[in-house]
Amino acid sequence: MQELVPGGNLVLPGGALTVRVPGPFDVSALITDDTGTVRGDGDFVFYDQPSAPGARLAGDTLTVDPAALRPGATRVTVAVGPAGPGAPPGGPPAPALQVADAGGRPLARFVPPGARQEAVLLLAEIYRRGRDWKLRALGQGYADGLAGLARDFGVDVTDDDGAVTTRATPAAPPRPAADERFLELVNAVRAAAGSPPVTHDARLADAAREHAGTMARGGRLGVEGVDGVSVHQRVVAAGYPYLTVGEHLVSGPLTVDRFVDHCLRHEAARRTVCDPAFAHAAVGSRDGAGDTYWTALWAAPLTPDGRDRTAGEVIDLTNRERARAGLPPLSHDPRLTAAAQAHSADMAARDFHSHTAPDGGRPWDRAAAAGSALRTVGENIACGQRSAAEVVRGWMNSPGHRANILEAGFTRIGVGFAGGGRAGTYWTQLFGG
């Protein structure tokens, strides 16, 4: 059985599963699509409406069969509140979420850390990602009670002295989900700047929510979370190989409008919002340590053409620097390129930044292994830069790297690029002569 922390997740086995929260709590569930809103009042499962297609509540146990959910459903959010008046769910005893498969085998357990004063806790969500269904621990407090929670998911309710009852009248139009509002705001700014719109990507959204959760858990902002995983590693782990990536990590704003406004008031962040290189974006937030933590991710997907184009830009910029020094251009070498690409990918995958690989391999070893017979080999590496121009500029500002670029004895070059790892990007220039 896996012990989960806020933002932690696991892939679920096929079939139905049970979600139990023992103790003096009322369990409820909201069935939604990717917009985060319900289609109607029937998507709200609670004590007065204990069943919906694919979900059934019996006492403290919710049974969910993802395959039997209504068409279009991609997410089941599980919430818990106190059973009647009294202490909030964050007080003793703490709610403990227990998840088991159809045969009763324990799969996961989650106890949200810290005492809370909110009336309702969002404990977990069961969601579809590709062909898989996954469970994510949340632990997010909700101050407006069960009725307020239901309304924000698009359920039409009456709230009378704390009692919640669904009405038969059609639900009012739900307010836009945070990611929809985020795209609406940033695409208006991008349009004014002449940049193409970005579209939502569910993989980036997963990574953003997970990273916001780890920052909330640790009570601090950081590219690396308290679990030791960087935001860039989360993007790759979510299944999004990228050519370029950007992030905004912010704490404080209570709404997505305020978060975007905060980003636009800082020049560097505004440049990221308007960067025409990005094709996809997503936002995630989590409450924790008395604050709200936000992660926005921007990315362009990695394609063979895109990687070749980026490598070509590095070679062009390198040859411009050689031309200024009165040196002949370097020609592209496929074998050096293969060795450089393999080293960049290795640095990203094995989380290191060195000319010497963990197995002891050096630049000339990699060149020879790729079939190169060149007698003289040199290498430049870098990590963290977001563009070809930035990485070449950094190399030219470093005496040792500059010396390789302007070495008269070099005649050939290969360039490698990979995204991921703690630094986000890994670059390799391999020279030969």
Instruction: Give per-residue pLDDT as tens, 50-89.
Output: 999 999 999 889 999 999 999 888 889 998 887 754 444 4
* More confident position, 378 or 32: 378
Q: Could you read off the pLDDT of 247-274 as tens digits, one per residue?
A: 999 998 888 999 999 999 999 899 999 9
Q: Is the pLDDT of residue 130 over 70?
A: yes
Percentage of residues of the chain with pLDDT beyond 70: 85
Question: Per the structure block, which two tokens stand in for 122?
Answer: 């969002």
Return the pLDDT at 153: 67
* Residue range 362-372: mean pLDDT, rounded: 91
Distance CA 96, CA 220 (A): 25
* Diameter of the chain measured on Cα atoms: 84
* More confident position, 414 or 143: 414
Distance CA 382, CA 61 (A): 52
Q: Is the pLDDT of residue 212 over 60?
A: yes
**Residue 237, Cβ neighbours under 10 Å: how many?**
14
Provide φ and ψ at 128, rounded to 5°: -95, 135
Range scoring the smallest mean pLDDT among 10-19, 91-100, 286-295, 391-400: 91-100
Contact criterion met (CB below 8 Å) for 60 and 97: no
CA-wise closest residue to 75 among 20, 37, 26: 37
Distance CA 418, CA 260 (A): 29
Range scoring the smallest mean pLDDT among 33-37, 141-145, 256-260, 332-336: 141-145
Return the pLDDT at 1: 74
Return the pLDDT at 169: 36
Please work out, in degrees rounded to the nearest 5, the angle formed at the alpha carbon of residue 136 by the alpha carbons of 135 and 138. 140
Looking at every residue in the chain, the average pLDDT score rounds to: 85
**Residue 265, Cβ neighbours under 10 Å: how many?**
9
User: Is residue 303 very low, low, confident or very high in pLDDT (cuts 50, 70, 90)?
Assistant: confident
User: Is residue 35 very low, low, confident or very high in pLDDT (cuts 50, 70, 90)?
Assistant: low
Single-letter amino acid code for the residue at 284: G
Q: Could you read off the pLDDT of 149-169 as tens digits, one per residue?
A: 666 666 655 544 444 444 433
Range scoring the smallest mean pLDDT among 17-31, 122-136, 137-151, 176-190: 137-151
Return the pLDDT at 211: 93
* More confident position, 400 or 171: 400
Return the pLDDT at 142: 58
* Residue range 331-352: mean pLDDT, rounded: 91
Angle between helices 267-274 and 178-192 in degrees, nearest 10: 90
User: Is residue 392 very low, low, confident or very high in pLDDT (cuts 50, 70, 90)?
Assistant: very high
Beta-strand pair 106-110/2-4:
parallel
Please write down the HEC assignment for all residues of the chain: CEEECCCCEEECCCCCEEEECCCCEEEEEEEECCCCCCCCHHHEEECCECEECCEEEECCEEEECHHHCCCCCCEEEEEEEECCCCCCCCCCCCCCEEEEECCCCEEEEECCCCCCCCCEEEEEEEEEECCEEEEEEEEEEECCHHHHHHHHCCCCEEEECCEEEECCCCCCCCCCCHHHHHHHHHHHHHHHCCCCCCEECHHHHHHHHHHHHHHHHHCCCCCECCCCCEHHHHHHHCCCCEEEEEEEEEECCCCHHHHHHHHHCCHHHHHHHHCCCCCEEEEEEEEECCEEEEEEEEEEECCHHHHHHHHHHHHHHHHHHHHHCCCCCCEECHHHHHHHHHHHHHHHHHCCCCCCCCCCCCHHHHHHHCCCCCCCEEEEEEECCCCHHHHHHHHHCCHHHHHHHCCCCCCEEEEEEEEECCCEEEEEEEEEC
pTM above 0.75, yes or no: no
* More confident position, 163 or 134: 134
Q: Is the pLDDT of residue 222 over 50?
A: yes
Q: Could you read off the pLDDT of 281-291 as tens digits, one per residue?
A: 999 998 876 78
Contact criterion met (CB below 8 Å) for 381 and 428: yes
Beta-strand pair 412-420/55-58:
unpaired
Distance CA 127, CA 30 (A): 12
* More confident position, 329 or 286: 329
Return the pLDDT at 90: 45
